[in-house]
Amino acid sequence: MNIGVIGMGAVGMLVAHQLESNGHHVTCYVRREEQLKQLKQSGISLVDGQTVYPEVLYTKQINTHELLVVCTKQTQLDPVLQLIDTNAHLHGSILFLQNGMGHIQKLEKLKHNSIYVGVCEHGVNKTTDYQIKLNGLGQIKVTGLNSCASDSLYNQVSASKFPITVHEHLIKVLNEKLVVNSVINPLTGLYEIRNGEVLKYSSIEQLAKQLTREASESLQLEVEKMWELVRNICNKTSENKSSMLIDLENGRETEIDYMNGYLADRYQSVPTHLLMTQLIKAKEEVKGVKKWT
């Protein structure tokens, strides 16, 4: 199948690598000249795995594909949405794989008639601009946002080692992931600690519980079940750095507005999430983060 992947972060590279090595024709879209050169020269390699050589283009010259997977961060999604909106020739399906929430309202405004959103549950790290490391296999869960959505497409791209499954009630999964992200990300970012350390320090664990409770109650999820999920993910990824910590370390804008900021915007009873949003924005400023505009 002819597939385009926009955004060559860890998730984008994983998606492109898996689809290319499963026989699809993949085009990777990037924004930075440096990464364009490196991917053209070195392909995408997997630590302890094979290297694949998909086509690489700049994001601005987007082509027609049967499936387009958008893997950019929330903070870089707006220019991509604009590109999609102004390209009348795009007729394939579009799948959005972003952390957090807030983008779904934006996607509902797209004129395109085959939009999917999904969560990527693989544990994957970017080691260089052209290499990724797979820490744990998961799956990609997908749901259709408008009536024309169908499963048959995803049956074609799904592979045993890289399952893509369609779920009718994915919004609950997205909300659960939102809770987990809005607990682990800001605490690990603020204190510059790894995921497992959230449970190591009793005072940070207490803050994590407080964030879990506020978010779960607002999203009508079971607090105890969600706290169990947060704990599990901290334990399973204990040595990992969260995406927010990595963003802060690299002086990049974080996705705080789509996690804690999204909750604070929509719900009244999340005071800790509201303050966490302010605290991470202050941390961005101290770290000299330049914002994408």
Of 152 and 203, CB closest to its own copies: 203
Structure tokens at 167: 């779920």
Between CA 84 and CA 236 the distance in angstroms is: 37
Backbone phi, then psi, for 159, in 5-degree steps?
-130, 160
Q: CA 263, CA 271: separation in Å to the nearest integer?
A: 10
Tokens of 169: 């009630």
Nearer to its own copies, 167 or 194 (CB): 194
Is the CB of 151 or the CB of 205 nearer to its own copies? 205
How far, in Å, CA of 52 to CA of 14, rounded? Answer: 11
Residues in CB range of 199: below 8 A, 6 or more apart: 205, 208, 231, 234, 235
CA distance 169 to 185: 25
C-beta closer to its own copies: residue 86 or 203: 203
Distance CA 261, CA 100 (A): 10
Alpha helical stretches, state H, the chain: 10-21, 33-42, 77-86, 103-108, 152-157, 170-191, 197-200, 202-218, 223-236, 243-249, 260-266, 271-286
The least distance separating its own copies from the CB of residue 233, rounded to whole angstroms, comes to 19
Q: How far is the CB of 221 from its own copies (least distance, A)?
A: 23
For the bound state, the minimum distance from the C-beta of residue 206 to its own copies, rounded and expressed in Å, comes to: 7
Least distance (Å) from its own copies to the CB of residue 279?
7
Tell me how far apart the alpha carbons of residues 285 and 273 are, in angstroms, rounded to a whole number.
18
**Burial readout 167-200 (b: 16 or more C-beta within 10 A, e: otherwise):** eeebeeebbbbbbbbbbbbbbbbbeebbbebbee
How do 44-46 and 164-166 pair as beta strands? unpaired
Residues forming contacts to its own copies in the complex (CB under 8 A) are 190-191, 193, 197, 201-204, 206-207, 271-272, 275, 278-279, 281-286
The values of phi and psi at residue 102, to 5°, are 110, -30
Point out the catalytic residue in the list 177, 200, 209, 241: 177
CB of 210 to its own copies, least distance (A): 8
**Known catalytic membership, residue 177:** yes
What is the closest distance, in whole angstroms, from the C-beta atom of residue 79 to its own copies in the complex?
Answer: 24
- Cβ distance to its own copies smaller for residue 239 or 285: 285
Residue 83 or 279 having the CB closest to its own copies? 279
Active site residues: 177
